[in-house]
Chains A and B, each alone.
Chain A
């Protein structure tokens, strides 16, 4: 009896449409494009800041248009999605064992949100928002 195993081809591009869980994963991964773009924008801002106040003010003014605000809003939404989707899986990477029991994962998640809020408030405070 001869063996002739059959290998099923896997689509290199369309695989993430096969399962909702794959789409959820891709929705998290795609956020990196927006966060990367925002990092480039910050670099530009730094360059314009180095050029002097007039250059920086012009740069800020260019971000006041509806398309710029729409883009920044999209970045904010994707950044929040990135942060929350990672925070929600942190208990897997850092389980906390106390004696014979594991601390319920929700405490690890909540701790991340708490640190996030504290760091955000500190940055806003240092920026003079309050």
Chain B
């Protein structure tokens, strides 16, 4: 292994002994191809087994290892150490409470995700013998990019609206609601609109666009939110200007 020495300043917080978090510096011999997660694993294995962080797949699929690296929300399995000069600062995802070290409390996001009903609510309940719900490639393309979300919460860590107004439903939850609203097999839009077209929903977004810039899966949640705003505005005009329009 062609090792080089990397220094990490990792934010540590032990709820049983600490009143507030503090940085701890680790010096780690690293290989050229290592990502930040590899360095954290090396710390845990051979320097400090008390370090806590979440990870699972090491291939930008599970969405578990999101953290702030030099102030930027990143998947630590997707952040190559060779791209960082000097001491790298590693902190838990911003805008979420710290449970312990690099682990955040994700309850708020999980709750919001549930509220938008991110699953198919079939427009028609077909009997099993009638076969599967069919979809053309064009119908699939309409929502495909939004279905790539891995719930890593980097977009919430980047969103200043969520930081300032924690009631905001946030980018990923609304983007996923939009993904199902765009699905030709789905009939649940009215149920989701009650949640996502509210003040705590899409209207809290002022289109900073940071969510899309940090998304590791190129989902573009900012686009989803603006499209929801356009669709909700059209709903409003239909409801108020068209006689006999449905609520």
**Contacts from A to B (Cβ < 8 Å):** 1-8, 10, 12, 15-16, 18-19, 21-22, 25, 29, 89, 91-95, 97, 99-102
Contacts and interface: CB of A to CB of B under 8 A. Distances in A.
Category for how many chain B residues contact A: 35 or more
Given A5-B105, A10-B95, A22 B164 contact: no
Looking at chain B's contact residues, the main secondary structure is mixed
Looking at chain A's contact residues, the main secondary structure is loop
B183 interface: no
Contacts of A25: 160, 206-210
Contact of B15 (A6, A12, A100): A6
30 contacts: A2-B16, A4-B15, A4-B16, A5-B97, A6-B98, A7-B97, A8-B21, A8-B94, A8-B98, A15-B160, A21-B210, A21-B213, A22-B160, A25-B160, A25-B207, A25-B208, A25-B210, A89-B222, A89-B226, A92-B212, A92-B223, A92-B226, A93-B223, A93-B227, A93-B230, A94-B227, A95-B227, A97-B141, A97-B142, A101-B141
B45 interface: no
B220 A92 contact: yes
Contacts of B160: 15-16, 22, 25
Interface in B103-149: 105, 137-138, 141-142
B13 A100 contact: no
Contacts of A95: 223, 227
Contacts of A10: 95, 163-164
A29 B206 CA distance: 9
A16 B158 CA distance: 12
Nearest to A3: B15
Contacts of A97: 138, 141-142
Nearest to B21: A6
A99 B222 CA distance: 23
Contacts of A91: 223
A10 B208 CA distance: 17
B32 interface: no
B163 A15 contact: yes
Q: Top 8 A-B pairs ranked by shortest CB distance?
A: A5-B97, A92-B223, A4-B15, A93-B226, A6-B98, A25-B208, A10-B163, A100-B138
A21 B15 contact: no
A21 to B, nearest CB: 5
A22 to B, nearest CB: 6
Given A6-B98, A99-B138, A100-B137, A15 B213 contact: no
Given A6-B13, A15-B160, A100-B141, A89 B207 contact: yes
Contacts of B227: 92-95
Contacts of A29: 206
Nearest to A26: B208
B20 interface: yes
A79 to B, nearest CB: 18
B99 interface: yes
B229 interface: yes
